[in-house]
Amino acid sequence: MSIPSKTGEPELHGAGAVPAGQQGLKKFAGLALAALGVVFGDIGTSPLYAIRECFHGEYGIAVNTANILGVLSLLFWALILIVSLKYLTFIMRADNEGEGGILALTALIIGQCIEKKRNRWALVSIGLFGSSVLLGEAMITPAISVLSATEGLQIIAPAFSDMVIPATVGILAGLFLFQHNGTARLGALFGPIILLWFFCLGTLGIIEIIKYPQILQAVMPWHGINFLISNKLHGFLVLGAVFLAVTGAEALYADMGHFGRRPIRLTWVLFVLPALLLNYFGQGAFLIASPEAASHPFYALVPSWAMIPMVLLATVATVIASQALITGVYSITQQAIQLGYLPRLTVTHTSASHFGQIYVPAANWALMAATIGLVLGFGSSSRLAAAYGASMTTTMLISTILFFFVARDLWQWSRPLTWTLVVLFAVIDLSFFGASMSKLFHGAWFPLAVGLVMFTLMNTWKQGRRLLLRQLKDRTLTVDEFMQSLALQQPQRVQGQVVYLTANPDVVPIALLHNLRHNKVLHSEVAIFHFSTERVPRVPNSRKVEVDRLGDGFTRVIARYGFLEYPNISQVLALANHLGLNFKPEGISFFLSREKIVAGEKTKMFPSRKKLFALMARNALSATAYYDLPSGQVIEIGVQVQI
């Protein structure tokens, strides 16, 4: 099956390319090492619990040679088909200006793929729900990863059993409390530590495979097929545990923009995949000889003299894996704010050299409370495993659906090729989804409930803002109408430079009309600023600002930012002045309108959602703080709006 060349795949240059020369190869190796630490932490810690849950979890299967070969076969082909084929070969071709992730994929569809409004709305909703469900997974990942690592304490000595939960809570609390300092300093350590972790995974596995090399026959797919046929429903339910081995696959796509697709692909093929498979097969070989070790097959591979160092290394590795998911939540939150699906929140940049390193306090404290609550509520990684996976199977299925429309409408692939790939991926995704949903009442409901809540919040904010802007538009004038009225009757003008912020560049800010109505004056130089979020990750400075002279002292400035950028008034002023605005930052007065939302009968929106929108609006970050306006130069004018 040949793959069309028109796939969105860039040429061999840029961030993810393989550079030429010794210096270029050194730089590429550095990128690959960094990707190893950030991208593969989640999937790299799955050996701690994936095999164990197949044989000792809620639906654990009998520990015998046939079942061990069957589980390993399913696990092998899951890694090959889902990670290597679906994500690294195909899904990662769908980049939005180099950025990946389900929100970037959704933005790509909005901007370029779908022409019919109804279809676009449905696909955007699906993509938005997928992003929302990812937040549920981000709550579970730190909990199950760190808890599964610290459970090694009770293997070292049963007397340490009572320390597992307190140690896990302490580690997680420290992790979240550290977030405001940023990850720039720790980032350099992530790669070498995860490199050591994967080296240990592979080494432990090789030792056991040498003792029982017959375990390698599990690569044959008929072992997995026979397992499913022989065990019927029970075998199907075990798929939910097999899926734990690929739960970090979405992170490979989401982090593509930081490192490029080629470092991620090569690191996976040359190092990560072999290390994972060696360890999984090593665990299987050990279980054939010692079935009683099914409750802790990973730590059973570790010699007694190395147990304490391995528990420490596993704990550090899981903290790194958790850090990657936490950072991902910050990025999703920022993207949602920029795309208009969440109210303004405080976003702090923690690095001057790496734009993507941000800190969102509201998201951090919510994650901390949920993660620690999950540890205390579930009490063990085995119980958490029932909740884990359901969110990721949902997200993977949604990615397959969105990929279909990108391949068909944007790349214009042939129908036979597109349908063949999508049907293959959908069958795999639906199988794992069905197996994970069997755990619905054993904890799988949690990430789905989180996703539903976040989806409701995002949709409520988007719809509420649309209704709010419609109400404000009805109460003001278009810019053209206002300029015509000035030509007929000129109000008194006073010296000064003022900036009005507006959500719609075609209408006059309501704060301007209120100021004119009550104070009976206009300033001599008036600039109307509009910040627009484009459906691309970043907008270059050469295209970021547009200055439009309206005449009579009025200027309209449109600033365009990508959904991974953070709007900054100082930067916009500097770029606008370069284009001839000539406003002095220290002498500007900024006029803002502060809307007071009141639920009414004018709009078709459920009363409960109107109240929810009003609550979100009241708790949103002020425009002064969000755009980094000098607070001593800001004048706010209150406006009551009924929706």
Q: Which domains does the chain have, with CATH numbers?
A: 31-443 (1.20.1740.10), 464-642 (no CATH)
Two tokens, residue 321: 């894996």
Q: How do beta strands 554-561 and 521-533 pair?
A: parallel
Q: How do beta strands 492-502 and 588-598 pair?
A: parallel
The span from the CA of 397 to the CA of 377, in Å, is 29
pLDDT digits (tens, 9 = 90+) for 291-316: 988 888 999 999 988 888 998 898 88
pLDDT digits (tens, 9 = 90+) for 552-579: 889 999 999 887 777 888 889 999 999 9
Two tokens, residue 614: 């009003």
pLDDT digits (tens, 9 = 90+) for 432-487: 988 888 777 777 788 888 888 988 999 898 888 888 878 777 778 888 888 888 88
HSE, CB side, 13 Å, CA atoms: give it for residue 46: 26
Average pLDDT of the residues in 411-432 = 91
Two tokens, residue 351: 């690095």
Average pLDDT of the residues in 427-436 = 89
What's the residue count for the chain? Answer: 643
Q: Where are the alpha helices (DSSP H) in 294-414?
A: 297-300, 307-338, 361-378, 381-387, 390-405
- Average per-residue pLDDT for the chain: 83
pLDDT digits (tens, 9 = 90+) for 478-504: 888 888 888 888 888 899 999 999 888
Which range has the worst mean pLDDT, 11-20, 35-44, 294-303, 529-538? 11-20
Name the percent of the chain lying above pLDDT 90.
Answer: 26
Provide CB contacts within 8 A for 603, sequence distance 6+: 467, 471, 610, 643
Q: Which has more confidence, 336 or 76?
A: 76
Question: How high is the pLDDT of residue 356?
Answer: 55
